[in-house]
A and B are shown apart, each in its own frame.
Chain A
Amino acid sequence: MAALARGDTEPLGTLYLRHGDAVLRLVDSILFDVPGAHAEDVCQEVFLTVHEIAPRYRETGKFKSWLMGIAVRKARARRRKSWLRRKLLAGHAKQESATWRPAAGPDETMEHGEQIASALAKLTKQQREVLLLRAVQGLSGEEIAEALGISLDAVWSRLKRAHQIMRTIEIEETG
Chain B
Amino acid sequence: MNGKHEMKPCDDLKDYLLGGLDDVDRDAFEAHLEGCPACRDEVAAWGRVDDAVNSWSGSRAVPETSPFVANRLVQVAREGRKPVIRRRARSPLTLAAASAFAAAAAIVLVSQLTGEDGAIPASPQPMVEPTLVHTEGGEIRLDQQTGEAALTVEGEGRLLAAIDDDRIAVSSHSEARLSRLEQGGLRIELERGMVAVEAAEREPGSPMVVQAGSYRVEVVGTRFSVLRASGDAIEVAVSDGKVRVIDPDGSSRFVERGRSLTLGGGTERITALRDTRANELDELLAEPQLDELEPIEDAAAEVALAEPIADEIADAAPIDDPGIKSHPEDHKTDLGEIKGWILTGKLDQAETALELHLRRHPRDVKAWNLLANCRRKAGNFGDAVAGYRKVIEYGSAGQSNRARFIAASVLQDRMARHGEAAALLEAYLERPQSLKPLEAEAMVRLARAQLRSGRTGEAHTLLRKVVDRFPGTAAALQARRILPTE
A27 to B337, CA, bound (A): 20
A73 to B274, CA, bound (A): 24
A68 adjacent to chain B (CB < 8 Å) = no
Residues of A with C-beta under 8 A to B276 = 40-41, 44
Instruction: Using A41-B87, A141-B18 as known contacts, say yes or no to A16 and B77 having CB atoms under 8 A apart.
Output: no
Chain B: residues with Cβ within 8 Å of the partner, total of 66
B54 adjacent to chain A (CB < 8 Å) = yes
A92 to B357, CA, bound (A): 11
Chain A: residues with Cβ within 8 Å of the partner, total of 71
Instruction: Using A13-B71, A89-B353 as known contacts, say yes or no to A136 and B87 having CB atoms under 8 A apart.
Output: no
Give the segment of B236-244, B315-323, B398-406 that binds chain A: B315-323
Please give the distance in Å from B287's CB to the nearest CB on chain A.
21
Contact among A17, A84, A140 for B70, CB-based, below 8 A: A17
B386 adjacent to chain A (CB < 8 Å) = no
Most buried by A among B19, B59, B73: B73
Residues of A with C-beta under 8 A to B85 = 41, 44
Contact among B54, B70, B316, B346 for A95, CB-based, below 8 A: B346
Give the segment of B44-52, B102-110, B227-235 that binds chain A: B44-52
A48 adjacent to chain B (CB < 8 Å) = yes
Residue-by-residue, is B180-203 near A (CB-CB < 8 Å gives 1, otherwise 0)?
000000000000000000000000
Most buried by A among B59, B74, B274, B353: B74
Give the segment of B153-161, B305-313, B423-431 that binds chain A: B305-313
A146 adjacent to chain B (CB < 8 Å) = no
Residue-by-residue, is B441-478 near A (CB-CB < 8 Å gives 1, otherwise 0)?
00000000000000000000000000000000000000
Name the residue of chain A whose CB is nearest to the CB of B275. A40
Could you tell me if B352 and A113 are in contact, using CB atoms closer than 8 angstroms?
A: no
Please give the distance in Å from B347's CB to the nearest CB on chain A.
12
Could you tell me if A113 and B59 are in contact, using CB atoms closer than 8 angstroms?
A: yes
Residue-by-residue, is B342-363 near A (CB-CB < 8 Å gives 1, otherwise 0)?
0000100100110011000000
B69 adjacent to chain A (CB < 8 Å) = yes
A21 to B274, CA, bound (A): 13
Instruction: Using A136-B53, A140-B20 as known contacts, say yes or no to A38 and B89 having CB atoms under 8 A apart.
Output: yes
A172 adjacent to chain B (CB < 8 Å) = no
Residues of B with C-beta under 8 A to A52 = 309
User: For chain B residues 17-42, which have a beta carbon within 8 Å of chain A?
Assistant: 17-20
Could you tell me if B56 and A142 are in contact, using CB atoms closer than 8 angstroms?
A: no
- Closest 6 CB pairs between A and B? A141-B18, A140-B19, A20-B65, A13-B70, A116-B56, A135-B53
